[in-house]
Amino acid sequence: MMFNFLRRQSALQIYIAAYDRGLDANGNQKPDHWAIIITKSLSHPGTAHHVIHGHPLFEYRHRDDVYVLKSQSLSHVLHVGKVYEKDVAKLEALFASLEVDNVNRGWNCQDWVIDAMKKIEKMKSVTLERGIKMEWLKELVKKASDGRDI
């Protein structure tokens, strides 16, 4: 007789990480680079989902083996939700399907993350933290701790 044990679903955490990009040629602060990170925890490697380059060459890219807390340019990290491992492929398909705006010069990686979060908000397979309001996202990321909130 065989026993069929149900394996408990493993949840992965979803974070928005903001990275300091330094100063431009005129000495003005560049906007932070934002990425969505999916990982077991901030002490484990995860996958970063973001747009890279700049106008007119923005493109979506994912990068595995990202250690968020080991980045010297990390300025903030905000826990926004969780997703079960079985549903990560749906989330990654959503990221790959998002429009990248290489026309509007005001558009950047932060806008891509906000667009992604608005779509994630509608996914039944993702549980968002209570109190995450998409219209407040820029302020929430800036108010996140010193980037080390585990």
Structural domain contains residue 4: no
Structural domain contains residue 75: yes
Number of compact structural domains in the chain: 1
> Residue 146: what pLDDT?
40
Structural domain contains residue 18: yes
Structural domain contains residue 73: yes
> Residue 137: what pLDDT?
74
Q: Are 81 and 129 in contact (CB under 8 A)?
A: yes
Structural domain contains residue 1: no
Q: How far is CA 78 from CA 7, 13, 16, 56, 124, in A?
A: 29, 11, 5, 29, 21
> Residue 8: what pLDDT?
64
> Residue 2: what pLDDT?
53
Structural domain contains residue 80: yes
> Three-state SS string across the chain, please?
CCCCCCCCCCEEEEEEEEECCCECCCCCECCCEEEEEEECCCCCCEEEEEEECCCCCCEEEEEEEECHHHCCCEEEEEEEEEEEHHHHHHHHHHHHHCCCCCCCCCCCHHHHHHHHHHHHCCCCCEEECCCCCHHHHHHHHHHCCCCCCC
Q: Which amino acid is at 113?
A: V
CA–CA dist 70, 67 (Å, integer): 5
Structural domain contains residue 5: no
Question: pLDDT under 50 in the chain at which residues?
Answer: 145-150
> Residue 11: what pLDDT?
92
Q: Which amino acid is at 39?
A: T
Domain span at residue 119 reads: 11-143
> Residue 23: what pLDDT?
87
